[in-house]
Amino acid sequence: GNSVTQMEGPVTLSEEAFLTINCTYTATGYPSLFWYVQYPGEGLQLLLKATKADDKGSNKGFEATYRKETTSFHLEKGSVQVSDSAVYFCALSRGGATNKLIFGTGTLLAVQP
Partner 1 sequence: NAGVMQNPRHLVRRRGQEARLRCSPMKGHSHVYWYRQLPEEGLKFMVYLQKENIIDESGMPKERFSAEFPKEGPSILRIQQVVRGDSAAYFCASSPPGQGKVGTEAFFGQGTRLTVV
Nearer of residues 52 and 78 to partner 1, judged by Cβ: 52
Segment near partner 1 (CB under 8 A), from 14-22, 70-78, 102-110? 102-110
What residue type is 55 in one-letter code?
A: D
- For 26-41, b/e burial (b = at least 16 CB within 10 A) is ebeeebbbbbbbbeee
Contact pick of 14, 46, 54, 56 for partner 1 (by CB under 8 A): 46
Segment near partner 1 (CB under 8 A), from 18-26, 67-75, 76-84, 92-100? 92-100
Phi and psi of 47, rounded to 5°?
-95, -50
Cβ atoms of residues 52 and 46 within 8 Å: no
What is the C-alpha to C-alpha distance for residues 36 and 4, in angstroms, rounded to an integer? 13
Question: Is beta strand 44-50 parallel, antiparallel or unpaired with respect to 56-59?
Answer: unpaired
Regarding 105 and contact with partner 1 (CB under 8 A), the answer is: yes
Residue 113 C-beta: closest distance to partner 1, Å: 26
Regarding 100 and contact with partner 1 (CB under 8 A), the answer is: yes
Regarding 32 and contact with partner 1 (CB under 8 A), the answer is: yes
User: Which residues of the shown chain bind partner 1 in the complex (CB under 8 A)?
Assistant: 4, 30, 32, 36, 41-46, 49, 51, 89, 93, 95-106
